Amino acid sequence: MADMSRRGFLLAVGAGVAGTVAAWPRLTAADVPGRGEDALRVAIMGTAQDAEGRKTIVAEFERRFPGIKVRVQPIQAADWSQFFAKILTMVAAGTPPDVCYVATEGVQLFADRLGEPLDRFVTRDKAVMQEYFSDVHPSLVEAAMYEGSLFQTPIDFNAANVYYNAAAYRRAGLERPADDWSTDDFLAAARKVQQADRSIRPFFWTNRLWGGIVPWLYINDTSFLTESKAPGGRWMWDTFYADDPSSAQRGGGYRWLHSNAQDPRVLESFELLRQMVADGLASSPAQGGGNELVGLFSGGRIAMTPAGGFWAQGLHDGGMKPTDFDVAYFPRWRSQRHQYGAAGNMILKTSKRKDEAWEWVKFNLSQEAMQLALPKPTTTPARRSMVNAAFYAETGPQHWQVFYDTLDRFPTSGPIPAPPQQAAVETALIKNVTAAVTGDPKKALASLDRDLTTALKT
């Protein structure tokens, strides 16, 4: 070993001590954003850019409420269960956020373990909330409830409608589908598109909870999970939706308690999709979030795909003109029940600033804040009044009314089936859908049934 002089030794020790002192805030995690800071912490799933996008709302909120400082914390995650796991890690680390922006996929997951019921806040600020609820469809609110209580306030939503490429339709000699088109009409249109241009895939779909197999199950009046309503919730419907004809059928939120994978109608839906894939009318079940979809659709390689209002801006950014594409309802089979997913704020029960958190949640529901949050059609606003011609003027589609009318025309439309065990349920569904569509559907559905039964037990 090389000799080290006393001076060298002391210098090395000194450097070590100085380095430790300089790094102390990081070593003790004192510099974790938000830790020790006197601010309301709002977690969103997204990147620093997404957090930056909320700067104007934060500035406006802080101007209105000078005593409350808001810090938006972007959490990068591949899906809602990963987002939830990261929030849990923050809870375990002693830096939980006060508010989380959560989609339908995560509502029951959060509500079951971490969410604060908003009932007392909503009834306390009845006048303000009446204005909000009068502009928001009750289906979105019902999906935000869990076991009789409201846990989330929807800000935006997306129903699974059918986007079609206008040029592909024109080449096939097709008109815009009728509002009540059937699955037979859909298949006939797909065949015409295929005959007109063999290089086009008539229907593209992504294997996931939203927009995958589920819309095909819903229109066949079934689902892969049993669906019922939790008791309670009358406080909401009688107070805020007393005049709504559908309010009598509404309850305290959805319950998905058992597997329904062995229902013959489920098999029927899988068979339809399997046949479409086998005939080359539909794409092979692709995994993931469908990021490549915009490119494929705008490039004219896909004729139809399930998508919601969120796609209007994406297609515009992808170079499509408002007349290059349009949107229609999902076809009718035994019913024309649509699938939708919403997103909004939730307050965490671990928050020590619940009143301040509610002020933030409430402010975000105002027309002004929503307009700041959604300047472009990157999603469908939960407020009906915001879904208007001006909003879609630059991007299209021509029949933008479809986005909100889906809820009005089909009031039994249902949310993404997402019980508190959403992650395990989604894994079970995704893995068996591919096997069912490309292999033996009966065997795959038996496996789905077994996996779902196990998942729902936990």
State the residues that interact with another protein by CB under 8 A.
1, 4, 9, 12-13, 81-82, 85, 88-89, 91-92, 113-114, 201, 204, 283-288, 292, 296, 301, 421, 423-424, 427, 430-432, 434-435, 437-439, 444, 447, 450-451, 454-455, 458
Task: Between 113 and 124, name the residue whose CB sits nearer to another protein.
Answer: 113
Q: Are the C-beta atoms of 303 and 190 separated by less than 8 Å?
A: yes
Closest CB 200 distance from another protein, rounded Å: 10
Q: Scanning the structure block, which residue is given the tokens 């479809």?
A: 402
Closest CB 8 distance from another protein, rounded Å: 10
The residues near 418 (Cβ < 8 Å, ≥ 6 apart) are 104, 105, 106, 107, 108, 109, 209, 256, 425, 426
Task: Between 137 and 201, name the residue whose CB sits nearer to another protein.
Answer: 201
Beta bridge partners of 255: 228
Q: CA gyration radius for the chain?
A: 25
Task: Between 32 and 373, name the residue whose CB sits nearer to another protein.
Answer: 32
Task: Between 5 and 49, name the residue whose CB sits nearer to another protein.
Answer: 5
3-state helix, strand, coil in the chain (%, to 5): 45, 15, 35
Closest CB 76 distance from another protein, rounded Å: 13
Closest CB 417 distance from another protein, rounded Å: 16
Task: Between 230 and 435, name the residue whose CB sits nearer to another protein.
Answer: 435
The residues near 174 (Cβ < 8 Å, ≥ 6 apart) are 189, 192, 193
d(CA 127, CA 131): 7
- The two three-digit tokens of residue 84, written as one number: 């939830």
Pairing of strands 149-150, 286-287: unpaired
Strands (E), 160-290: 161-165, 201-203, 206-207, 228-229, 254-255, 286-287
Closest CB 135 distance from another protein, rounded Å: 35
Task: Between 203 and 241, name the residue whose CB sits nearer to another protein.
Answer: 203
Closest CB 296 distance from another protein, rounded Å: 6
Q: Is the dihedral of CA 29, 34, 38, 41 positive or negative?
A: negative
Closest CB 153 distance from another protein, rounded Å: 23
Task: Between 285 and 341, name the residue whose CB sits nearer to another protein.
Answer: 285
Closest CB 92 distance from another protein, rounded Å: 5
The residues near 137 (Cβ < 8 Å, ≥ 6 apart) are 382, 384, 404, 407, 408
Task: Between 122 and 293, name the residue whose CB sits nearer to another protein.
Answer: 293
Residue 26 burial by Cβ neighbours in a 10 Å radius (0-12, 13-18, 19+): exposed
